[in-house]
Amino acid sequence: MREKPAVARDDVVAMIASLGDRSVDEVGDRVDSMQLAWLMHQVEQRYGVEIELNDGQYARMSTVDGAVEVLREAITAVPHE
């Protein structure tokens, strides 16, 4: 069984910034629906997981810090080989 990856705030900001090829300094604290969809895709690709979230978890991801918290919880819950 391999160790589960940690999701760092800097990584989340960098993934959001890659949408539209922006610098990390241009990423605000709010996460809109387009950024959220992009972020979910990026996380699943980077960490090799499929994440299933409920409406409450999606609602908590309206900020970068909220997204980091939910993603940490979700990836921890995914079984790893």
CA atoms within 13 A on the CB side of 18: 14
Q: pLDDT (tens digit, 9 = 90+) per residue, 3-56?
A: 666 899 999 999 999 999 999 999 999 999 999 999 999 999 999 999 999 999
Matching residue, tokens 């819950």: 77
Please, are residues 23 and 17 in contact by the beta-carbon 8 Å criterion?
A: yes
Domains of the chain from N-terminus onward: 9-77 (1.10.1200.10)
pLDDT recorded at residue 50: 94
pLDDT recorded at residue 6: 80
pTM beyond 0.85: yes
**Please, which residues have CB within 8 angstroms of residue 57's CB and are 6 or more apart in sequence?**
70, 73, 74
Joined tokens for residue 20: 């539209």
